[in-house]
Amino acid sequence: MEVCLDLCDHNALPSMVARDSVHVLPREMLGVATFSVAVFLLRFLPLWLVDRILVVLAWLFLGDLGKLGITRPSRGPLELKNTKGRTPVLDIGALARIRSGDIEVVPGIRRLFRGGAELVDGRHVAADAVILATGYHSNVPQWLKGTDFFTEDGYPRVPFPHGWKGDSGLYSVGFTRRGLSGVSSDAIKVAQDIAMAWNHQTATR
């Protein structure tokens, strides 16, 4: 959601695939950080009850997200964080852009093709770029075929700091196992490479 919001802020028209159910919580509740509220409540109440309170408060502050195509998991946000490592998404403005139509929530993708994607409902959407959020465990080998850029465990074959670029416009960000510093290093190089390619393309027109 944050990626789509950033794209909107730079005049792009992003579409977001909500593949799985996810908890979306407000960043703050009456001026207090949501996680601070959760930590405070956990001092006095069991986790399951705090989860229910958070879900109710999220509904009051954010409304029915099901109408936007975003479904909530059956298990609570704190329970999922503790058992599955799935952190709730904090809304920092993306929901407002979804409601305004600046961000379109679409169903799953059936296949990608040059210039866009075919959705599971049969619609085609145009796309200049596709950003795949592959999760905390790399599942790249399951869907990326025809290249030996990644190893069998789903990480770039070329070690850091050179494993950020493959062939045919393929980039990888965040596979360094070096936390945010590694992500930052990859992202800067990718942005510079895209800018260089764009400048070259526009200069030759």
What does the pLDDT read at residue 134? 64
Residue 86 has pLDDT above 80, yes or no: no
- Does the residue 124 lie in any domain? no
Give the residue numbers spanning the domain of 87: 23-102
- Does the residue 167 lie in any domain? yes
- Does the residue 62 lie in any domain? yes
Residue 18 has pLDDT above 90, yes or no: no
Average pLDDT over residues 77-95: 83
What does the pLDDT read at residue 69? 86
Structural domains in the chain (count): 2
- Does the residue 128 lie in any domain? no
Q: What is the DSSP string of 29-52?
A: ETTEEHHHHHHHHHTTS-HHHHHH
Distance CA 5, CA 19 (A): 18
Q: Is 159 exposed, middle or buried (0-12, 13-18, 19+ CB in 10 A)?
A: exposed
What does the pLDDT read at residue 68? 87
- Does the residue 115 lie in any domain? no
Distance CA 86, CA 62 (A): 20
Q: Which of 80, 102, 124 is the last residue of a domain?
A: 102
pLDDT class for 180, splitting at 50, 70, 90? low
Residues 91 and 154 in one domain: no
- Does the residue 107 lie in any domain? no
- Does the residue 67 lie in any domain? yes
What does the pLDDT read at residue 85? 64
pLDDT class for 204, splitting at 50, 70, 90? confident
Residues 82 and 29 in one domain: yes
Residues 87 and 158 in one domain: no
pLDDT class for 130, splitting at 50, 70, 90? confident
What does the pLDDT read at residue 111? 87
Residues 35 and 86 in one domain: yes
pLDDT class for 138, splitting at 50, 70, 90? confident
Residue 150 has pLDDT above 70, yes or no: yes
Residues 145 and 199 in one domain: yes
Residue 135 has pLDDT above 70, yes or no: no
Number of residues that make up the chain = 205
- Does the residue 40 lie in any domain? yes
Residues 39 and 98 in one domain: yes
Residue 53 has pLDDT above 80, yes or no: yes
